[in-house]
Amino acid sequence: MNQSTYIDGVAVTTGSNVFMTIASILASLLSFYSLLIWLRIVLTWIRVPGQTQENPLAYYLGKIVDPYLSWFKGISSLRRSRFDLTPLVALAALSVVQSMLRLYGSYGSLTVGMVFALVLQTLWSYLVSPIFWFVIIMLGIRLVFCYRRSPQSIGYITMLDSMIGGVLNWVQNLIYPKKAINDRQLVITSLTFFIALYIGTSLVLRFLIGFFAKLSF
């Protein structure tokens, strides 16, 4: 016969306690696996001068995490010549599962509203918000070069435009359709637009997360 205990005023059977314990253990394992992914990402950025072979630690980490990361390599829209954002999607997926397991491990129940709230929060934290910040920072750097042009800066401007040129074109077509504007005005407008869009999106998302989290089903 199952016995019942109470967690935060909610009756939970002994059988449920077993599943809650398993869920908590799995959540901890996924948290550790996410840490390995972050370590793998950082090690790919580090290059020791004169080193011709891959770091042994990075090699063995790759054996563990690369098979999982490869599932997301097909998202071509998040891959550019210099940047690959697919690991963020992989981490976001792990974070959603980990959060669901942690919630179930703590309370023994999970609602559809909680799942929607977790998905929204994770997508914002791991994907949307970093992309916003990347664009805002690149536009800020691009604006500096608008005021400090020099023969040496042309190469940096070309590199920045290769990364955010599509953003600048999109803002121009959205706000200044069929109108010629100078480079500085376009960058200032784009930077202001994305800062305002970031603030507005974060407020709307905060409302939606709170709304879904309160749903009882």
Please report, in tens digits, the pLDDT of each residue of the chain (217 residues total). Answer: 444 444 444 444 444 688 788 888 888 898 899 899 888 887 777 665 555 566 677 778 888 888 888 888 877 766 665 667 788 888 888 888 888 888 887 777 778 888 888 888 888 887 788 889 989 998 998 888 888 777 777 777 787 777 788 888 889 888 888 888 888 898 899 999 999 999 999 999 999 988 888 887 7
Q: What is the per-residue pLDDT for 3? A: 47
**CA dihedral for 47, 53, 54, 55, sign (positive or negative):** negative
pTM (whole model) above 0.75: no
Distance between first and last Cα of the chain: 28
The residues pairing with 13 across neighbouring beta strands, listed in sequence order, are: 4
Do residues 141 and 163 touch, judged by C-beta distance below 8 A? no
Q: What is the per-residue pLDDT for 197? A: 94
Q: Within 13 Å of residue 186, how many CA atoms lie on the same side as its CB?
A: 20
Residues 6 or more apart whose Cβ sits within 8 Å of residue 140: 191
211: nearest Cα among 131, 124, 111: 111
Cα gap 158→145, rounded to integer Å: 11
Query: What is the amino acid identity at position 189?
Result: T
Cα gap 32→67, rounded to integer Å: 16
Cα gap 35→42, rounded to integer Å: 11
